[in-house]
Amino acid sequence: MATFFSTIFSSPNPLSSKSILHSNQQQFTVKCNASAAPLPPEVHTFWKWLSDEKVVSSKSPAKPATVPEGLGLVAQKDLGRNEVVLEVPKKFWINPDTVSASEIGNVCNGLKPWISVALFLIREKLREEDEYSPWRNYIDVLPEYTDSTIFWSEEELGEIEGWSFSGTQLLSTTLSVKEYVKNEFLQVQEQVILPNKQLFPFAITLEDFVWAFGILRSRAFSRLRGQNLVLIPLADLINHSPSITTEDGAYEIKGAGLFSRDQIFSLRTPIPVKAGQQVLIQYDLNKSNAELALDYGFIESTPDRNTYTLTLQISDSDPYFDDKLDIAETNGTKAIQYFDITLGRPLPPKMLPYLRLVALGGTDAFLLESIFRNSVWDHLELPVSRDNEEVICQVVRGACQSALSSYRTTIEEDEKLKGGDLDQRVEIAIGIRAGEKMVLQQIDENFKEREMELDEYEYYQERRLRDLGLVGEQGDIIFWEPK
Ligand SMILES: C[S@@+](CC[C@H](N)C(=O)[O-])C[C@H]1O[C@@H](n2cnc3c(N)ncnc32)[C@H](O)[C@@H]1O
């Protein structure tokens, strides 16, 4: 029955996730996270540079501090909701325009924006200490790595791997991202770095490139007025709080003043903060735990951060491939379609019609005829036939069970491990694989229920007869009886 039906559980485009940081707003206060740990000397130098440049002063509302998340911003006085925390003029931002205006601008023309900014960061990091560049003040406060999975060792990645070839989706996404970064590096090395030795007189390695990628992924702001990839020194010290659950208005780009054409980046606190407490924002409510782990190196315990991407496909060996593809595309889906399924949420609305379409065949194939083209999707929104519905249940359940059996541990075993004193990366790995398994179990349960209700559904033929007035209240067929 399942010949024309193929499910693949795999990761979607690894680089498709949306913006990197986002804003929020909330009423309550976050507990004090600031610690008394001393500030590294490079942070003092960074602050002095910004003071000399008049970006900050002793009266600034917030200052860098050492916090559990690394560096962070701590309020110097009580701050009300929406109060400005800091403002950074455009001159201090790093974006593709900064690179274009720099010494490497000419050789970076035409590169992908992130690659030109990455080369800029690496060059500033590796250039001789005595060759003064103001950017050194910023580069020196950037971390060498984060807990993003792109920085994990093979052994650490093993924690998110299943027994068989098919580990977690995060594992395959991480490996694809690393492969992507490596290919981009090899290309830029050959085309830009090696032919321009005078601009890059030091060895640049893949590790340097992965570092720059990790920095951009975890700290660059995007989807801002006219700015799709921009590093804002100082503002990028802001950490994330899971308890802040809205994203509105925490930062914006605005005019520097009434008579100025300059732009300024302004960061506001979404919630009231007491002096000495850390100022925090919500980075992105729409990111799954896998995306948070890949981009920033942390996850949340919020259930709906757990997702699983189910990949469904119209097989190209399906005899009805062309008709099915036409119907799929007319209704906003594709030959290979990804469905993000979230813990505790209903299935995506187009998933069941798409599944029914993929499984359509046998005596139901008449629905693929062109006279039905305008109405077929409406029919697919409801069960088509018992056979069709049974196939989708069997195939989805089979795929879930096979994916579940490929993990090394059970949900119960993961839950037990979670209580222990764990390394941050191990904790992320356990959280991710437990989350994926819970979503797979939820999908399996959902289709198990459907399977048990197969005899209760009304299918296309009954609906059709009812519409024609040929089925009575109790589902009995009304025959025409000659008088
Ligand atoms: C925009 S930077 C914030 C500044 C950063 N803490 C630092 O030391 O430079 C984002 C990074 O901060 C850390 N971070 C931010 N919020 C966090 C959180 N709630 N839990 C753990 N780490 C966090 C992660 O390493 C993340 O990649």
Rounded CA separation 27/114 (Å):
36
> At residue 133, what is the residue type?
S
* 70 C-alpha to ligand 1 centroid (Å): 6
**Binding site annotation covers 111?**
no
With beta carbons less than 8 A apart as the criterion, state whether 360 and 388 touch.
yes
Distance CA 99, CA 117 (A): 6
Ligand 1 pocket, 143 CB below 6 A? yes
CA 152/CA 145 separation, integer angstroms? 10
pLDDT at 34: 52
Element (H, E) at 380: helix 376-380
CA 421 to centroid of ligand 1, rounded, Å: 21
User: Is 161 marked as binding a ligand?
Assistant: no
Q: Which of 22, 24, 47, 239 to mutate to test the pocket of ligand 1 (most atoms within 8 A of CB)?
A: 239
Asked whether 296 lines ligand 1 (CB < 6 A), one says yes
Q: What whole-number distance in Å separates Cα of residue 297 and Cα of residue 146?
A: 6
Q: Is the minimum distance from the CB of 40 to ligand 1 under 6 angstroms?
A: no
Going from the Cα of 29 to the center of ligand 1, the distance in angstroms, rounded, reads: 19
CA atoms in the 13 A half-sphere facing the CB of 244: 28
Cβ neighbours of 89 (radius 10 Å)? 15
Torsion of Cα atoms, 291 then 293 then 298 then 299, to 10°: 60
Output the residue whose Cα is nearest ligand 1's atom 25.
146
Q: How far is the CA of 433 from the centre of ligand 1 (A)?
A: 22
Report CA dihedral (345, 348, 353, 354) to the nearest 10 degrees.
-130
Return the ligand 1 atom nearest residue 148 CA: 27
- Please work out whether the CB of residue 233 comes within 6 Å of at least one atom of ligand 1: no
The catalytic residues are 283
Contact 306, 342 (CB under 8 A): yes
Determine whether the annotation assigns residue 138 to a binding site. no
Q: Which residues of 172-196 are buried (b: 16+ CB within 10 A; e: fewer)?
A: bbbbbbbeebeebbeebbeebbeee
C-alpha–C-alpha distance, residues 45 and 465, integer Å: 80
Verify whether ligand 1 is closer than 6 Å to residue 266 (CB atom): no
Q: pTM for the complete prediction?
A: 0.86
- Decide: 72 in ligand 1 pocket, CB within 6 A: yes
Residue 407 annotated as lining a ligand binding site: no
pLDDT score recorded for residue 21: 32
What is the CA(57)–ligand 1 centre distance, in A?
24
Q: Write down the pLDDT at residue 442.
A: 98
Instruction: Please list, residue by residue across 30-61, b when 16 or more beta carbons sit within 10 angstroms of its beta carbon and e when fewer do.
Output: beebbeeeeeeeebeebbebbeeeebbeeebb
Mutate to test the pocket of ligand 1, among 230, 231, 298 (most ligand atoms within 8 A of CB): 298
| C-beta separation of 360 from 339 below 8 A | no
How does pLDDT run along the chain (483 residues), one tens digit per residue?
A: 222 233 333 334 333 333 333 333 232 333 444 556 889 999 999 999 999 999 999 999 999 999 999 999 999 999 999 999 999 999 999 999 999 999 999 999 999 999 999 999 999 999 987 788 999 999 999 999 999 999 999 989 988 765 333 457 888 899 999 999 999 999 999 999 999 999 999 999 999 999 999 999 999 998 777 778 999 999 999 999 999 998 888 999 988 777 777 899 999 999 999 999 999 999 999 999 999 999 999 999 999 999 999 999 999 999 999 999 999 999 999 999 999 999 999 999 999 999 999 999 999 999 999 999 999 999 999 999 999 999 999 999 999 999 998 888 888 888 888 877 889 999 999 999 999 999 999 999 999 999 999 999 999 999 988 887 766 666 665 555 554
149 lines ligand 1 (CB under 6 A): no
**Rounded distance from Cα 275 to ligand 1 centre (Å):** 21
Question: Under a CB-based contact definition with an 8 Å cutoff, are residues 321 and 314 in contact?
Answer: yes
Q: Indicate if ligand 1 lies below 6 Å from the C-beta of 211.
A: no
Note whether 240 and 283 are within 8 A (CB): yes
